[in-house]
Structure 1
Amino acid sequence: MKLFIASDLHGCLLATETMLARFEESNANHLILLGDLLNHGPRNAIPDGYNPVATAEALNAYSKMIIAVRGNCDSEVDQALLQFPITASYAHVLLPQMRLFLTHGHIYHPDNLPPLQSGDGLLYGHSHIPVAEYRDDILLFNPGSTTIPRDNGRASYGLITATECQVHALDSDEILLSCSIRLKR
């Protein structure tokens, strides 16, 4: 099982098209979207290539492969454009080796963890800053942002396999961060 993770697209068609091309190349089984898909948000500048309607149409082509959660910039209006659900504030993905808690990151994040067991993982976005590490036996994974990276970072996405988590640069094959999956004890 391979999971492709992206967050904070913020309505940028160019970044979304690039991300979807990377998804195709990855041969991942599912596309996990961690929120803030169509709206740029009131604190962000409008990104180049901002086109929420076309971004929704591009994502809809992959609707059967998408697992998504709602970000703080997502709304019912956004849901009306999308052919896959985005209104849940969290979701769970059960893998043979671990449980993944998916959320945007504005409520649950590394400093406010949901109830997790040792060996589980928290997948979140919101900060636009990539993370791939363990803290107290919990996987913390943030793919960064495809559109508006912060802290002088690069646009990025994530991949999770049975053995590894990686954050990749959106514009190249470069792996920005990586950590091994720990098996439950």
Structure 2
Amino acid sequence: MKLIFFSDIHGSEYYAKKAIEVLKEEKGDYIVLLGDLLYHGPRNDLPKEYNPKGVIELLNANKNNIIAVRGNCDSEVDQMVLKFPMMSDYTIIVNNDKKIFATHGHIYNEANMPQLNEKDILIHGHTHIPVAKEKEGIFILNPGSISLPKENNPSSFGVMTENEFLIKTFDGQIIKQIKL
């Protein structure tokens, strides 16, 4: 199974379109959205082509290929307009012999780890900073932010295959990678 991870769209129709393009180009099985889908949040500037209604339309058109979790900027009113579930603080995906704990990162993160076994994966967004590392036998991953990257990082997303996680830019550059 090939999973494509995006975090922190923050209402950018421009980057939501890019996410759908990546799903097709990468031949991914599912997009995993790690929260902060529609609203830009009070601490963020407006992202490029801020249009939450356009994001709703794009995501709903691809609802059968989306797994999503709630971010700290997502609310119940967002769930009312989206045609896929996104109000859970986390979801667990089992891919071959690995448990993937997918969350936004504002509750569960490296400082507040969920219960995981060796070689399991914690993947989250929230910080807008790409991460791919192993700590005490657990993989800690963050695809970075698609629309509002921080610390001079480019817009990025994650691609997970059976044995590898890549963090890529939209021009195909691999900025981080780790064998799983």
Residues 20-53 of structure 1: CA deviation (Å, up to 9, x unaligned):
1011101011110000000000110111200001
Q: Give the aligned partner of residue 10 of structure 1.
A: 10
Residues 65-102 of structure 1: CA deviation (Å, up to 9, x unaligned):
11100000000111111100110011100111200001
C-alpha separation in 2, matches of 1:147 and 1:61: 20
The answer to whether the 8 Å contact 1:97/1:162 transfers is no
Unaligned runs of 5+ in 2: none
TM norm structure 2: 0.98
Q: CA deviation at 1:163?
A: 1.1
C-alpha separation in 2, matches of 1:47 and 1:91: 26
AA matched with 1:149: P
AA matched with 1:180: K
Q: Give the aligned partner of residue 174 of structure 1.
A: 173
Q: Give the aligned partner of residue 114 of structure 1.
A: 114
Q: Give the aligned partner of residue 133 of structure 1.
A: 133
AA matched with 1:83: K
AA matched with 2:93: V
C-alpha separation in 2, matches of 1:98 and 1:74: 28
C-alpha separation in 1, matches of 2:137 and 2:35: 25
RMSD, aligned α-carbons = 0.7
Question: Residues 86-165 of structure 1 correspond to what in structure 2 (within 5 A)?
Answer: 86-165=86-165
C-alpha separation in 2, matches of 1:16 and 1:156: 12
AA matched with 1:23: L
| Secondary structure class of the residue paired with 1:15 | helix
TM norm structure 1: 0.96
The answer to whether the 8 Å contact 1:53/1:81 transfers is no
| Secondary structure class of the residue paired with 1:21 | helix
Runs of 4+ in 1 over 2 A off after TM superposition: none
The answer to whether the 8 Å contact 1:35/1:70 transfers is yes
| Secondary structure class of the residue paired with 2:25 | helix
Q: Give the aligned partner of residue 19 of structure 1.
A: 19
1:74 and 2:84 are equivalent in the alignment: no
| Secondary structure class of the residue paired with 2:178 | strand
Q: Give the aligned partner of residue 85 of structure 2.
A: 85
- Aligned residue pairs total 180
C-alpha separation in 1, matches of 2:162 and 2:52: 33
| Secondary structure class of the residue paired with 2:36 | coil
Q: Matched residues, percent identical? A: 42
